[in-house]
Copies of this chain bind each other. A is one copy, B any other.
Amino acid sequence: MTRTDEKVRYLPEGKRASYTARSAAQSVQNVLRVLEGRWKLVILFQLFGGQVRRFSDLERAIPGISQKMLIQQLRQLENDGVVARIVHHQVPPKVEYHLTEWGQSLCPALDALLIWAEGAPADVRSQLIQEGQEDAAQKPEADAT
**A: which residues have CB within 8 A of B?**
1-2, 10-11, 16-32, 34-36, 41-42, 44-46, 48, 80-81, 100, 102, 105-106, 108-121, 123-124, 127-133, 135, 138, 140-142
Contact = CB atoms under 8 A, between A and B. Distances in A.
Given A36-B36, A102-B121, A119-B11, A113 B28 contact: yes
A130 B27 contact: yes
A20 B1 contact: yes
A76 B27 CA distance: 21
A56 to B, nearest CB: 18
B2 A24 contact: yes
Given A131-B19, A135-B22, A31 B81 contact: no
Contact of A116 (B23, B109, B121, B127): B109
